[in-house]
Amino acid sequence: MRGKKPKVENNKNELIRIDSLLDTSDEIDINSDNFNKIMFIYSVGIKELQTKIEIMKDEFKIFYDYDLIDHVQTRIKSIDSIKKKMQDRGLKFTYKEMIQYINDIAGVRIICPMQKDIFSIRNLIEQLPGIRISKEKDYVTNPKKSGYSSYHLVLEVPIVLSQKKLYVKVEVQIRTMAMDFWASLEHRIKYKSTKQLTKAESKDLVNYAKMVRKLDNKMMLIHGGN
């Protein structure tokens, strides 16, 4: 039995947002077609951006013999994490508010060797055709009080489906290998452990972040001298 043929629409070349594609005023239902469609669209956004970044990585290795990017990680935020974030912000549990206010449903993390590479990658991303930067936060120049250091971008990534062209929000984090080591362990200690951190232990984490920052700077000086 053949499936229903999709209706071809006249505005297939018009770039639109996800919330104009679906009826998003309803409450989120993880078992609904709407939820599956929206998560699929976010996953396509990740694939589109990941492909461009992997090409960038290979280009610098092959053309310039330089490892600008060490590796790339991707993830779709779990519905439990989305729900908690929406509750913490006092948002209604609807598709509309999720799409509008939760910017990190689709996430890409770029790990690079040197701190200076972070800003090179940021500038290269800005030059990617069709990509739009809607928000950015520089936690490299100005780390958080916790010691966390990374460069954050919220991008609008154009994707092409059979009947639509859409902009999809994807959060990008760019950090060095040393920053990623600290951030991964800090997250595991703070959020994956049942133990409550003492003030002294929290202070130690901040001091360790400063040590990681010094290490990054020293490695960059050594690398620059070679």
Domain with residue 69: its CATH number is: 3.30.460.10
Show the domain range for 57: 15-177
Q: What is the pLDDT along the chain (226 residues), one digit of tens a residue?
A: 444 444 434 444 455 667 666 666 789 999 988 899 899 999 999 999 999 999 999 999 999 999 999 999 999 999 999 999 999 999 999 998 999 999 999 999 999 999 899 999 999 999 999 999 999 999 999 998 888 899 999 999 999 988 788 999 999 999 998 888 877 776 666 655 556 767 766 666 666 666 777 677 666 666 664 5
Euclidean distance between CA atoms 54 and 110, whole angstroms? 10
- For residue 207, being part of any structural domain is answered with no
- For residue 19, being part of any structural domain is answered with yes
Question: What is residue 104's predicted lDDT score, i.e. its pLDDT?
Answer: 96
Euclidean distance between CA atoms 163 and 59, whole angstroms? 32
- For residue 80, being part of any structural domain is answered with yes
- For residue 8, being part of any structural domain is answered with no
- For residue 146, being part of any structural domain is answered with yes
- For residue 195, being part of any structural domain is answered with no
For the whole prediction, is pTM greater than 0.85?
Answer: no
Question: What is residue 201's predicted lDDT score, i.e. its pLDDT?
Answer: 63
Question: What is residue 191's predicted lDDT score, i.e. its pLDDT?
Answer: 59
Question: What is residue 26's predicted lDDT score, i.e. its pLDDT?
Answer: 85
In order of 47, 148, 155, the CA distances from 185 in angstroms are 27, 11, 26
Q: Count of domains in the chain?
A: 1
Question: What is residue 223's predicted lDDT score, i.e. its pLDDT?
Answer: 64
Question: What is residue 8's predicted lDDT score, i.e. its pLDDT?
Answer: 38
